[in-house]
Structures are given as structure tokens and as C-alpha cells.
Amino acid sequence: MTSPLKTPLWDFALDLYGRPGVSQACLTLQDEAGVDVIHLIVIAYADHVGSPLSADEIRALHEAMADWRTGAVLPLRAARRFLKAPLPVLDAEKEALRDAVKAVELKAEQLQLAMAYGWLTARADKEGLPKEGLPLAQALGNLLVSSHGQAGMLPAVEQALATVIDAVKTIDRR
């Protein structure tokens, strides 16, 4: 039996994140622009499979994932980051705890991706689904504006966004 967490979206996320420069670009977008990287990956996946999201769908997707992100992903990330600081005498034990929290954080993100995949599947099953959404650059630009709260982007954020968009274009359509 296949795990409900091992979706085509999960495979896409692993492929995208493993592309040159993408992991650092995602961290830049997360840290400098407040972007939910999972949300970004889902938008990129929808575009990649030929079913781009509209602005309203991007907002609806955000709302569908917001409680999980706020209640599980972000607290785990905060704990992992807190555990980066040295803990004299007990540093090895603290690092073991940090590794465990990191694994749980990854599992929480994998669950968020599985929820998003379910959302995308339900969307695809609807009658009269619009065939056109926003072009990827515009969709991700809208995500940046909604996350960051302003239209102007720092050069590092613009470069990170370009890196992700370019990487998505290199992934084979299956």
C-alpha cells in the first residue's frame, strides 16, 4: 500500500528542492519575504502540471493550509531554530534533540503538502474548472506581495524567485 504522504506533489517538491540553488532560494524567500515555501511549491506544481492557480485559488489554498502551518509547522521551525544556540556541557544531547525536531518539522511539511495535494485533487474534480490561471511568475509574485506586504522586492528576493522559476522550467513534465 502506498503512503498517502507520497504524492506526485511530494516527488515534485523533492525534485525542485534538490535543484541547484533552490534550497537556498527557498530559505531566502522564507526568511527575507515571509513566504510559505510549501505554498510556493504547490503553486509551482499546479503550474507544472498544466493547471495553474488563479489569484482567488491561491488565497483559498493559503486559507486551507493556514491552521496547520500556524499550529504545527511554524512552532516546530521556531523550536528547531531556537535549538541552534550552543548549550555548554549538553551540546551533543541538544543537537540530538534538534535533529529529532528537524525530522518532525519535515514530517509536518510533508503532511501540509499531502493536504495541499488533496486540495488540488478536489479542485481538479470540480465541474467547469477554469483551464487558465496566473502565469507562474505572476502567481509567485502575488504570493510575495501577500507575504511581504509590499510590491517592492529586495534584489536577493528577486534573484531567489528567479532561481525557483528557472528550476521549475527544468523539471520534466510526467
**Alpha helix stretches (DSSP H) within the chain:** 8-17, 22-33, 37-48, 55-68, 74-82, 91-125, 136-148, 155-170
Query: What is the model's pTM?
Result: 0.89
Looking at the domain assignment, is residue 14 inside a domain?
Answer: yes
**Is 3 part of any domain?**
no
pLDDT tens digits, one per residue of 112-170: 999 999 999 998 777 555 567 999 999 998 888 766 665 457 889 999 999 999 999 99
Cell for 166? 528557472
**Residues of the domain holding 126:** 8-170
The DSSP symbol for 168 reads H
Number of structural domains in the chain: 1
Residue 1 lies inside a defined structural domain of this protein = no
Is residue 57 included in any domain, yes or no? yes
